[in-house]
Amino acid sequence: MATIALTRQISPALAECQLTYMDRDAIDVARAERQHAAYEDALRAMGAEVVTAPFDPTCPDCVFVEDTALVLDEIAVIGAMRRASRAPETKLLSHLLGTQRELASIQAPGTLEGGDVFLVGRTIFVGRSTRTNDHGIEQLRAIAEPHGYEVIAVDVPGCLHLTTGASRLTEEIVLLHPEWVDADAFIGVETLAIDPAEPWGANTLRLNDQTLMGDCFPRTRDIIESRGVTTRTVDISELMKAEAGLTCMSLLFDGDANALRQAIAGIQITADRTSHRRASASA
Ligand code: GLY
């Protein structure tokens, strides 16, 4: 079993991504791809085995793979995307995660995006946001509690997802931006506020006792390091124009990387055959 970081290539349509709390700014997709490659390198340097799924040209947001699912040790929960343009993303992830875990899925009228969820120990904090509703939260509770998890809802009044405004810094500390998420909801853990001049700085990625963060949050980095946390930085400025955070570009779990790669190879063979048949038919 390896620590897998499952990522997905950037869609050429990234510039048409969903935006909720941000104005649209031109996105240089080639630059975003270089930053995504550096992000994957950082995950490898932190000890993850990176497995990358192919992009879908019809899904502008498909690189944000975290939003499609929550992978627990015991079960993978396939989310229900709030935006129609993102709904097809879960099909591939169901197929891939089905090689790793038993699956459960959130059903309408429930919506739940993985970007609204993070764990601290056996506690699952889940954001009540523009993307995740109470039906989705109750379904997650019904799936997770029999496995020994406690599910705590957190209001997210000021940003896209819970993980936009909060993240697990260590097993004891949640880093957050108190203007964007309800700090009082984090029962049983210490909360640490980011520097208010860096509102996007609360999204950090914890892996093997290291913390990955964006390189444009030096004041928050000082706050984190003053607590003895080792940090590493990466530039995702182009991806941030798509309302991205670090965590939303990977799903981290212990699993079988070879089984995932075989499933991905099978998809690519099927896609190649389909495009070959289409080309033959139109010749
Ligand atoms: N662009 C990420 C999202 O809005 O889902």
3-class SS of residue 88: coil
The DSSP code sequence of 50-82 is: EEEEPP-TT-TTTT-GGGGEEE-SS-EEE-B-S
Could you tell me the distance, in angstroms and rounded to a whole number, from the CA of residue 263 to the centre of ligand 1? 26
Token representation of residue 128:
């009540």
Tokens 């040790």 sit at which residue? Answer: 73
Tell me the C-alpha distance between 266 and 274, whole Å. 12
Residue 81 in contact with residue 113, Cβ under 8 Å?
Answer: yes
Residue 244 alpha carbon to ligand 1 centre in Å: 7
pLDDT single digits (tens) 35-54: 999 999 999 999 999 999 99
Q: Could you read off the pLDDT of 162-187 as tens digits, one per residue?
A: 999 999 999 999 999 999 999 999 99
pLDDT band, very low/low/confident/very high, at 278 (cuts 50, 70, 90): low
Distances (CA, A) of 89 to 24, 82, 93, 113, 208: 22, 12, 7, 11, 28
Across 151-170, average pLDDT: 98
Q: How close is the Cα of 174 to the center of ligand 1, in Å?
A: 23
pLDDT digits (tens, 9 = 90+) for 93-137: 999 999 999 999 999 999 999 999 999 999 999 999 999 999 999
Answer yes or no: is the C-beta of 243 below 6 A from any ligand 1 atom: yes
Distance 34 CA to ligand 1 centre (A): 20
Percentage of the chain surpassing pLDDT 70? 95
Lowest mean pLDDT among 95-99, 176-180, 226-230, 273-277: 273-277
Side-chain half-sphere CA neighbours of 235 within 13 A: 7
pLDDT at 1: 83
**Ligand 1 atom nearest to 83, measured from its CA:** 5
Kindly indicate the confidence band of residue 279, based on its pLDDT and cuts at 50, 70 and 90: low
| Block residue for tokens 């999204």 | 203
Active site (catalytic) residues = 161, 248
Share of the chain above pLDDT 90, in %: 94
Q: Whose CA is nearest to atom 3 of ligand 1?
A: 18
Interval 10-19 mean pLDDT = 97
pLDDT of 274 over the 70 cut? no
Query: CATH number for the 2-275 domain, one of 1.25.50.20, 3.75.10.10, 3.30.470.20, 3.30.420.40?
Result: 3.75.10.10
Tell me the domain boundaries of the chain: 2-275
Contacts of 103 (CB under 8 A, 6+ apart): 75, 76, 77, 78, 94, 97
Mutate to test the pocket of ligand 1, among 8, 11, 18, 238 (most ligand atoms within 8 A of CB): 18
pLDDT at residue 283 is higher than 60: no
Largest CA distance in the chain: 65
Which residue is associated with the tokens 């009228």? 109
